[in-house]
Amino acid sequence: MQYLEQLLFIIVLGVAVYFFVQKIKKIRRNIFLGKAEKVNDNKPERWKTMARVALGQSKMVVRPIAGIMHIIIYVGFVLINIEVLEIIIDGIFGTHRALSFLGPVYDAAIGFFEILAALVFIACVVFLGRRFIAKIPRFHSPEMKGWATADATYILVIEMVLMVALLKMNAVDQVLQAKGADHYIAAGSFPVSQYLTGLFTSFEIPALVVFERVFWWFHILGILFFLNYVPYSKHLHILLAFPNTWYSRLQPAGEFANMPEITNEVNLMLDPSKADPDMPPPEKFGANDVTDLGWTSIMGAYACTECGRCTSSCPASITGKKLSPRKIMMDTRDRAEELGKAKEVHGADHHDGKSLHDFISQEELLACTTCNACVEACPININPLEIIYQMRQYQTLEKSAMPTEWAMMNSNIENNQAPWQFSPSDRANWTKEI
Amino acid sequence: MSKQIHVPTVAELVAKGEKADVLFWVGCAGSFDERAQKITKAFVKILDSVGVKYAILGKEESCTGDPAKRAGNEFLFQMQAMANIATLNAYEITKIVTTCPHCFNTIKNEYPSLGGKYEVIHHTQLLQELIDEGKLTFGADPFKGKKITYHDSCYLGRANGVYDAPRRILEAMDAELVEMKRCGKSGLCCGAGGAQMFKDAEKGNKEINIERTEEAIETGASIISANCPFCTTMMGDGIKHANKEGEVEVLDLAELVAQAKDL
């Protein structure tokens, strides 16, 4: 029976890890649907950014309540997972509390995890409250309907259930330890679950062992389920926040990349000696689909946890325009998933004939003031502006789709060297009036 | 106090065998727009009074291409940029100051990879330098106790991380700086960036400049200070919309400095 349980555990663990790895591989493939980008300059600064922004959560605390609650869940998640390591060891080798040989350190750690578990539970309650009772507006934008809100709710509920399972498991364990049951060595300290022991003291040892096993299995199955839920969910940010911050832009936010293909074309016209005559003329300007974006933009889409800080600081969103930077990221992820799946079914060369413009309208693109508020607000340095901008370039350069006023502005710049219709010879007239 | 100021062009100085220390890039708004011309003139008066050796390009200046670029027209942007770079390089320009954060951002960040490498500063940075060096001083606390709020432009603030220089100018003039709720890194756009200045806003329930101006008015300040000709226009329109003309003024920091110096 003992070995059967171990064998079962190993199989379950193996299957869970296998499916997780398969899904991650698909996500990796979808991310690399994007254009190759070489981002490896200034590595010390990149490590620093990752340490500060992802590990140190520096941008989360800009909004203190959500920031502190998030840090509790984050620290709880990272540290309580150390206990998962023990659970895995116990599961494979049939041991019980394998790390208890650490003595007082172990006791202190278990006690600390319990306090964290309780705090995580409370933080999840607060988060649910913010979402559904306080109804904070950024959680109720149009793009949050359906799956997005369900996803957020599932994550919080799963986390709460996992914390309860952990605490109940510890509570039964304590009772078993106190009753001197075989196998259940006295180890750990239980500052929180000691208050739950009352639920179990009236049971005999055999029943308690069943309870303990049920909670133990429930906890670990819950964690393995969650492991496999995460890559389908916005919760993937717990992994991708790290590479996303590492690869985030280091140059000034106002610097919009110059397109080298166009530089060559312009040189051919103005100064052919500077141009590379062998450079092929560009196939396409700007972004029509996710395949035209840099891969870091698609990674950003998978890293987005839909918190909506971007949207709540976007001047266009605030004033009721259709643009929402969060939706830009969600659409990019949805499109990458869709195209990835189509290619999986029909082969890598297949194209389904759709584009990112089927998800994001010109009205949204035109509403952007390029103010960088969304980029600044993102706790993990996602850059919705880059996507908006490249899609706008496509509309302007490939489709000549732009408001008449912009067409006029462009022709003024071309003919009068100013966006308005003034004569260039009047440019210095102001100097006569001073 | 008003005296005739002669604004030298680079070409003129070159003809005399002279060289300016800094090129003042006026920008299209500063050159043509009536409201923005006031900022240009104020800044020139300051440069003149402090004795900075500056020059403008005059008729040889041309749009940086910023609005074309933000509107997605990379081709037109690069045509403009290359032409400007050719002019600037021909005159061996090394340092540029501009009163427009859009010109500032474009020349500073987007010209270098096209062959235009210059030291580029925004006029608020130059003013702060002059204050620090003791060349620009204010007598008798010109704005003592006066409530002034400051609107960060996106292209000076978030785009380039310049938040302090403009605030230190206000401090030097003894003004009481009252910040808006959204300021510094989280400052709200005036609505004009990204070539929005040149088109109608998309459909929504409010104009961005009205949202921002209301926030500025809430501070109780009688002056909204700004650093960008577009912001100045947008906020000025916001004031008109709120019927606060005469109560609240929108002024560029150069205009405030010129006022304080009675120029």
Could you say which of A252, A313, A427 has the minimum Cβ distance to residue B61?
Answer: A427
CATH of the domain at A103: 1.20.950
Give the pLDDT confidence score for residue B177 in this predicted structure: 96
What is the domain extent for residue A161?
2-22+63-233
Give the C-alpha separation, B77 to A256, whole Å. 11
Instruction: Show residues of chain A in contact with B110, CB under 8 Å.
Output: 255-256, 258
Instruction: Show residues of chain A in contact with B201, CB under 8 Å.
Output: 319, 321, 367
Give the C-alpha separation, B52 to B67, whole Å. 30
Residue B205's CB is within 10 A of a number of other CB atoms, namely 9
Nearest to A143, CA basis, from A333, A406, A7 = A333
Give the pLDDT confidence score for residue A1 in this predicted structure: 57
Tens-place pLDDT, residues A27-83: 999 999 999 998 989 999 999 999 999 999 999 999 999 999 999 999 998 888 888
A345 inside domain: no
Indicate if the pLDDT at residue B243 is higher than 60.
Answer: yes
Instruction: Show residues of chain A in contact with B41, CB under 8 Å.
Output: 430, 433-434
CB contact under 8 A, A410 and B207: no
Give the pLDDT confidence score for residue B3 in this predicted structure: 66
Tens-place pLDDT, residues A186-211: 888 899 999 998 888 888 888 998 98
Say yes or no: A261 contacts chain B, CB-CB below 8 A: no
Whether the predicted model's global pTM rises above the 0.90 cut: yes
For residue B57, give both structure tokens: 């390009």
pLDDT-derived band at B183 (thresholds 50, 70, 90) equals very high
For residue A428, give both structure tokens: 């210095």
Closest alpha carbon within chain A to B112:
A258
Give the C-alpha separation, A318 to A320, whole Å. 6
| Residue A163 contacts residue A245 (beta carbons within 8 Å) | no
Range A2-25 average pLDDT: 93
Q: What percent of chain A has pLDDT over 70?
A: 100
Out of A206-215, B69-78, B137-146, the most confident range is B69-78
Instruction: Give chain A's mean pLDDT.
Output: 93
CB contact under 8 A, B200 and A405: yes
Q: What percent of chain A has pLDDT over 90?
A: 75
Give the C-alpha separation, B20 to B220, whole Å. 42
Say yes or no: A413 contacts chain B, CB-CB below 8 A: yes
Could you say which of B82, B158, B202 has the minimum Cβ distance to residue A270?
Answer: B82
Tens-place pLDDT, residues A319-336: 999 999 999 999 999 999
Could you say which of B59, B193, B195 has the minimum Cβ distance to residue A427?
Answer: B59
A229 inside domain: yes
Indicate if the pLDDT at residue B211 is higher than 80.
Answer: yes
Say yes or no: A252 contacts chain B, CB-CB below 8 A: yes
Residue A102's CB is within 10 A of a number of other CB atoms, namely 14
| B213-242 residues touching A, CB cutoff 8 A | none
Give the pLDDT confidence score for residue A112 in this predicted structure: 92
Give the pLDDT confidence score for residue A80 in this predicted structure: 83
Tens-place pLDDT, residues A94-126: 888 888 898 899 999 999 999 999 999 999 999
Closest alpha carbon within chain A to B191:
A369
A386 inside domain: no
Indicate if the pLDDT at residue A272 is higher than 90.
Answer: no
CB contact under 8 A, A253 and B159: yes
Domains of chain B: 10-128 (3.40.50), 138-260 (3.40.50.2300)
A148 inside domain: yes
Give the pLDDT confidence score for residue B2 in this predicted structure: 55
Alpha helix locations (H) across chain B? 10-15, 28-32, 34-50, 66-70, 74-90, 101-105, 123-132, 164-172, 208-218, 229-241, 253-260
Indicate if the pLDDT at residue A361 is higher than 50.
Answer: yes
Indicate if the pLDDT at residue B141 is higher than 80.
Answer: no
A408 inside domain: no
Give the pLDDT confidence score for residue B1 in this predicted structure: 45
| Residue B250 Cα distances to A128, A276, B69, B101, B149, angstroms | 43, 49, 28, 17, 10
Could you say which of A315, A363, A370 has the minimum Cβ distance to residue B188?
Answer: A315
Give the C-alpha separation, A314 to A324, whole Å. 7
Count how many domains chain A has.
1
| Residue A235 Cα distances to A13, A142, A232, A307, B8, angstroms | 21, 20, 8, 11, 60
CA distance A71 to chain B (A): 22
Say yes or no: A395 contacts chain B, CB-CB below 8 A: yes
Closest alpha carbon within chain A to B156:
A254
More confident residue, A93 or B109: B109
Give the pLDDT confidence score for residue A26 in this predicted structure: 97
A147 inside domain: yes
For residue A68, give both structure tokens: 């502190």
Range A410-414 average pLDDT: 97
